Structure 1
Amino acid sequence: MVDARYFATAPAGALELLRDELKSLGATSTRLHGGGVAFSGAPAVGYGAALWSRTANRVYLQLAAGEVHDGEDLYALARSVDWSEHLAPDTPFAVSFTGTSSTIRHTHFGALKIKDALVDCFRDRGLPRPSVSTDSPHLALHAHLHRNQAVLYLDLVGFGMHQRGYRAGARIAAPLKENVAAAVLLRAGWPRVAEAGGALLDPMCGSATFLIEGAWLAADRAPLLDRAADMSLTLWRQHDKALWQRLVADARTRAEQGLAQLDLPIVGRDIDPRSLKAAKHCVAQAGLRDKVLLQQGDVRDARPSARQGLVVCNPPYGERLAEKASVGELYRALGDTLRQHFVRWQAALFTCNADAVKQVGLRPLRSHAFRNGALECQLYRYAIDPEHFRHPPLETGLWLARAVAERYPQLAHSPGAQAFANRVRKNLKRLRRWLKQEGVQAFRVYDADMPEYALAVDVYDTLDDGRWVVVYEYAPPRSVDERKVRQHRFEALAALPGVLDVPADKVVYKVRQRQKGRQQYEKLAATRDFHQVLENGARLWVNFVDYLDTGLFLDHRWVRREVAKLSAGKRLLNLFCYTASASVEAAVAGARETLSVDMSRTYLEWARMNLDLNGLDADAHRLERADVLRWLQRPPRSEQGRFDVVFLDPPSFSTSKRMEGTLDIQRDHVRLIEQARALLKPSGTLIFSTNLRGFKLDETALVQHWQVQEITRETLPPDFERNARIHRVWRLQPE
């Protein structure tokens, strides 16, 4: 019998693995070509590839091939096939087409030509016309055109071969395709590890794809065994039913024997209970309920279940800016766990995030490029051995203080760190009586007092989780020696836990640069880890990690107190309200009504949390999401002239997709103040504040309608006395 010709496709990065698989199944004349492997073999080889290939996307049987210069040539090639020998008239079919030429420029046109030829074949034989079903064809045909050479294929499987069946019914967003997971395991050497009795661990297992594919591979279970009855080849008119039944029966026997003998530790962990629920479902569907152990837990708590094994995982990629900082911490935690507890094991990390991989602290033995769907990924392979350890860089990161404490435990005793600690200690002593008298729980203890330590250090004594410290580094000029900056940064971070009596893992480090446009709204992480502080009698939520700012501008503490004092028993309008802390403090102090306006959904949700935390009535203390510039131009008629106090604290500069134009406070402040006058009672007060350095109030333009009084000095609390230019504040009353 003449061997048939086949073509199997696979994800980028898995073609050599696919070729090896096909050879092991008896394929001959294997050749890598395009996105797949061309091969020859008896029907048992083609059927075997459909049933046993772990890495393939599709397996095609070649029906015809020839030179094609235009649509007519393509039609003629398709007409050369007696389609009635391949499908029955009542078999719904579909045609897919890839490739183009100078005359066949559209794949839809190519597919249409083949469909027409097939239909005409049945018509000429007096047979009913088969129906086309693009959604659920019983038989799938495929054609590929390259350099005027066209090939027509029958898709033996009819669906993507990554669809093993065990994910059916699971509510999961699983970015890792099953055949890609199998390819990763093969490339990582799992068959050798399993043969030696080693364990398999996925510490971030998600829906357990690696675990299932690894168990099936070790148990010699065919990956498409559960889908054998669903394949297109069973409806092919030349289908060898006896051969297929024999191959499937043999695969079932091998699977039963392999699973009975499978006695390897195969363990999956995940911190997310929803992921574990999906993993349990998939593991049960795969027939591995008693073979795979699933545990809920943090990656830091993972421990080896055997003397040797393979750690494999597909950590989060962190593609969004909001995720990048937390993802870096996750990779660092994974690396710490591997180096401390998994020596002599092997590891394989599959990821798109090349930067985060540097945080693992291991030198990869090799890396392999893969494609997972539309994502370009890399597989990094490691031998977990001290000779391959390397320290991840400590240049940045929210938890840099913790990393410095772990890496350089003696640095806190260095002369530089001690000098910095002495200055912080001196400031604490100066502020201590005032802090106690006023009950201040969030304050600045250091603000670039020593020029070489260009940091601001804020202390938060939270109601729910004790003391936290937030460190802002002012980005240095490019002319400054980065090595010295780094040294001073590390010395300060090493000193702070001791002098402020706070654990290093509660010291958060950030870099404050000049903000432009929407950068003020960018997230650093996505923990939603909020804590409570008490200020001016109000409880307020703060977040130390997710944003550059914490939700509470400490320099405005006395500004908020002044606004609250003015608003007692009255109505307050808070424009550019941020997290509405001024409104909350005013409401707690007795304001009858408040209206807080901001464009950010995130900050208004935060504001609602602040109001709810203090048990304030949502009808009396309203929040409105709006572009303040547009809102001031056309304020609701019902709001005009009804407020006793207006608090106007705009950003120095802002722009966004939802804003009408841009805001430049130096240019626009007179217009904003004048527009706000329409909302103020004749006897009311407007408090205007800005943090723009070098700002100049245009009093000449304002004195025609306002009494203007600068109250900046009265609003600077003792912890900000060193930085008298941090904000400017005016009290304005209509003439």
Structure 2
Amino acid sequence: MLKCFATAPGGLSEILREELMSFGAENVKAQPRGVSFEGSLEVAYRACLWSRLANRIYITLLETKLDNQEELTTAMAQVPWEEHMEGNGTFVVSFSGKGMGIDHTHYGALKIKDGIVDYFRDKFHTRPRVDTTYPELRVHGHLNRNELTLSLDLTGHSLHQRGYREGQQVKAPLKENVAAALLMRAGWPEIAKAGGTLYDPMCGSGTFLIEAAMMASDLAPGLEKADQMAFLSWKQHDRALWKNLIAEAREREAEGLRHLPPIYGSDVSHKSLDIAHEAIANAGYDDSIEIKQMAVAQGRRWGDWTPGLVICNPPYGERLGEIEEVKALYVELGNYLKTEFDGWQAAILTCNDELGMYLGLKAKRSHSFFNGALECKLFRFDVIEAYHRQPAIKGGLHLAEEIHNALPELVESEGAKMFANRVQKNLKTLKKWAQQHQVNAYRVYDADMPEYALSVDFYHTEEAGDWLVVNEYAAPKSVDRQKARKRLYEAMAALPRVFSMPLEHIIYKVRERQKGTSQYERLDESKQFFTVLENGAKLRVNFTDYLDTGLFLDHRDVRAYVAKQASGKHLLNLFCYTATATAEAAVAGAKSSLSVDMSKTYLYWAKHNFMNNRIDEQQHRLHQADVLDWLQTAWKGHKEQFDVIFLDPPSFSTSKRMEGTLDIQRDHVGLIEQTLRLLKPGGELVFSNNLRKFKLDEAGLQQVQAGLQITNLTRQTMPKDFERNDKIHQVWSIIKA
């Protein structure tokens, strides 16, 4: 087992640790300037050939403490140098660090060189010589106070030098291994596997584009310089092993090129693009990467691109007088992302945190990196989430300010009057119904007039009276944005008068068709919760922090049905979200329950729903797990069976199971089959989902388990306030024979 060390630029140690572990390295430990690890010679060779992040790979020959400077020379006798080089061979020594009065790297290297020469002269009467150009052995010494680490340099050059920039003079380039790390942190490997597109709107000399192509095509970054590795002349070099690894790398590249996803770049500078063209050709991707000259301000997507990743390294405004121009550039970049890349991921590198504000997007995550001596941050965005996060989302206050001056004119406009009349008409019927059935949260309007594509939900809270949550359905691109905005303003101007409600109690959001768990993602951090009474239970809602409020109003009657069926029985609630159905069942007299969801945030919310209703958490348990994993594995050790199961999965969701995704139309038979294992004979599974075109495969279910009694409960569980939109959910009762 060899003891090794991989150096890396600042900020890359943790991700390099993960990469080395993927090569089979053991005892891997991240350190400030690199990663220590152990492994076989094959692991060390793989690191040299495949690491996208490391600068150099070293094998440790000696670690010792010194008492004085002279021991820097005499300590060399502890290494059996004849196992590494011939007595008349050539070598070179590099040195870093300081200690014991040694402040110059040249002096430290000289002391080590003398020790190696003395070793061969005293033991073999030979004298190796120093060759700084083509040495047979490269030795590196590092001194930290009085601790010396002596290593063998396996690479001889920094691994960030892939070979495609040979001879190019690039101004302030992003180093290749830093670019690779940024792509990894931005999730490009996973996006590439799914066939997503990569685009760099400020591609410069094309580093992101080439590194992205190398990852997606499974090209070993050290392959181009495989015949220049320093270990090739090392006495212990295993030629057969290296030859096999090279052959494997070439096979992987040939296969990877068959699945290379689309990669595009643009830049305003034709000089930068000339350099990029040359580098792309050198890397062998001139047929795979497309670049064009274009400024961000005039930016438009070309071609048919699959949603993927936008990544770029905009200017930082280092020079005096540049900062205002750079601010304007960031504004243009943010607008470009929001108008052209809805549904994409984005990652922006900047060495000036304040500039990120001018994008007009809120980062969901950031990572610290160093580009040379500059400390930078990579900000990551979910563009569809950021596009939803309009400035008005906090209590409607910003939108109120925007409308304020035009309010009298808007209220009296024909559009506002027409919208107000329709809402008043709906409200006249629904308000009486809500009072009779003690419904405190209901939908008043749901795009009844197509030109006013909104939903309006009314909430009566115990703490703060009445609120409205207005969801604007994003208009198709064919609809003029100015007209859509004017209609929104007309509607928002009309609502306070119709409901006798202050505008700051009207919360505005943009809603599009949801995928996976995107309805659960955070929009804000007000942490302001209110209580709504439903079906006898006190439920917490939050109007501003998430796209949904914690209470799906269309499932009101579904929850009531589950609560009724679970009275006096044992309930399992899968994909429980904030466990509102469980809370209502517990209030209705359920003996016990288990609620499972993978979100820690929403289970914490569920816990407070339980606390609000004084629900015993030993009888009614919450469990954090990926439901798909839990059903396939955890249930085996779960002897408990349930009388009633509520299964309300998302339409689509990513998971390590089910070929990487859950598609409820494709996977519902298998999902229900696994769930039925936990249902007692004669028990009832209530299965619900919100996929509008969903069709239950009853024949497939009967093949899985004969004798199932399947009843469509959709009409029975469709509340009056959602009758106009009868495909908002579908529900079935499945009783086990």
- Letter of the structure 2 residue corresponding to residue 65 of structure 1: E
- Measure the CA separation in 1 of the matches of 2:55 and 2:404: 55
**1:278-332 Cα shifts (integer Å, max 9, x gaps):** 1111111111111111111112314274241000001111100132111111111
- Measure the CA separation in 1 of the matches of 2:408 and 2:275: 51
Question: How far apart are 1:137 and its partner, in Å?
Answer: 4.6
Q: Which residue of the other structure, out of 187, 190, 194, is the alignment partner of 1:189?
A: 187
Residue 272 of structure 2 corresponds to which residue in structure 1? Answer: 275
- Measure the CA separation in 2 of the matches of 1:326 and 1:414: 39
| Counterpart contact for 2:195–2:306, Cα < 8 Å | no
Residue 337 of structure 1 corresponds to which residue in structure 2? Answer: 336
**1:467-513 Cα shifts (integer Å, max 9, x gaps):** xxxxxxxxxxxxxxxxxxxxxxxxxxxxxxxxxxxxxxxxxxxxxxx
| Counterpart contact for 2:89–2:128, Cα < 8 Å | no
- Measure the CA separation in 1 of the matches of 2:346 and 2:87: 53
Q: % of aligned pairs identical?
A: 48
| Counterpart contact for 1:203–1:302, Cα < 8 Å | no
Question: How far apart are 1:361 and its partner, in Å?
Answer: 0.6
**1:421-441 Cα shifts (integer Å, max 9, x gaps):** xxxxxxxxxxxxxxxxxxxxx
Give the secondary structure class of the aligned counterpart of 2:224. Answer: helix
Matches within 5 A, 1:545-694: none
Q: Give the TM-score, by structure 1 length.
A: 0.52
- Letter of the structure 2 residue corresponding to residue 328 of structure 1: K
- Letter of the structure 2 residue corresponding to residue 167 of structure 1: R
Residue 5 of structure 1 corresponds to which residue in structure 2? Answer: 3
**1:51-77 Cα shifts (integer Å, max 9, x gaps):** 100000111011111111212222222
- Measure the CA separation in 2 of the matches of 1:6 and 1:82: 18
| Counterpart contact for 1:362–1:389, Cα < 8 Å | no
**1:504-550 Cα shifts (integer Å, max 9, x gaps):** xxxxxxxxxxxxxxxxxxxxxxxxxxxxxxxxxxxxxxxxxxxxxxx
Residue 358 of structure 1 corresponds to which residue in structure 2? Answer: 357
Matches within 5 A, 1:278-677: 278-300=275-297, 301-303=299-301, 305-387=304-386
Give the secondary structure class of the aligned counterpart of 2:36. Answer: strand
Please tell me whether Structure 1 or Structure 2 has the larger radius of gyration of its CA atoms. 1
Matches within 5 A, 1:223-302: 223-262=221-260, 264-300=261-297, 301-302=299-300
Question: How far apart are 1:374 and its partner, in Å?
Answer: 1.1
| Counterpart contact for 1:90–1:131, Cα < 8 Å | no
Question: How far apart are 1:175 and its partner, in Å?
Answer: 2.3
CA distance 1:91–1:390, change in 2 (3 Å) = farther
| Counterpart contact for 1:142–1:153, Cα < 8 Å | yes
- Measure the CA separation in 1 of the matches of 2:19 and 2:109: 31
Q: Does 1:164 align with 2:162?
A: yes
- Measure the CA separation in 2 of the matches of 1:97 and 1:131: 14
CA distance 1:41–1:414, change in 2 (3 Å) = same
Q: Which residue of the other structure, out of 10, 15, 31, is the alignment partner of 2:13?
A: 15
Residue 94 of structure 2 corresponds to which residue in structure 1? Answer: 96
- Measure the CA separation in 1 of the matches of 2:136 and 2:208: 30
Deviates more, 1:99-108 or 1:353-362: 99-108
Question: How far apart are 1:388 and its partner, in Å?
Answer: 5.7
- Measure the CA separation in 1 of the matches of 2:226 and 2:300: 37
- Measure the CA separation in 1 of the matches of 2:60 and 2:239: 19
- Measure the CA separation in 2 of the matches of 1:116 and 1:225: 35
CA distance 1:104–1:195, change in 2 (3 Å) = same
Q: Give the TM-score, by structure 2 length.
A: 0.51
Residue 616 of structure 2 corresponds to which residue in structure 1? Answer: none
| Counterpart contact for 1:363–1:388, Cα < 8 Å | no
- Measure the CA separation in 2 of the matches of 1:197 and 1:224: 25
CA distance 1:154–1:338, change in 2 (3 Å) = same
**1:101-134 Cα shifts (integer Å, max 9, x gaps):** 244444333222111111222323222431241x
- Measure the CA separation in 2 of the matches of 1:411 and 1:205: 43
Question: How far apart are 1:411 and its partner, in Å?
Answer: 7.9
Residue 545 of structure 2 corresponds to which residue in structure 1? Answer: none
CA distance 1:339–1:91, change in 2 (3 Å) = farther
CA distance 1:158–1:335, change in 2 (3 Å) = same
Question: How far apart are 1:257 and its partner, in Å?
Answer: 1.4
| Counterpart contact for 2:12–2:34, Cα < 8 Å | no
**1:455-475 Cα shifts (integer Å, max 9, x gaps):** xxxxxxxxxxxxxxxxxxxxx
Give the secondary structure class of the aligned counterpart of 1:226. Answer: coil
Give the secondary structure class of the aligned counterpart of 1:282. Answer: helix
Q: Does 1:131 align with 2:130?
A: yes
Residue 608 of structure 1 corresponds to which residue in structure 2? Answer: none
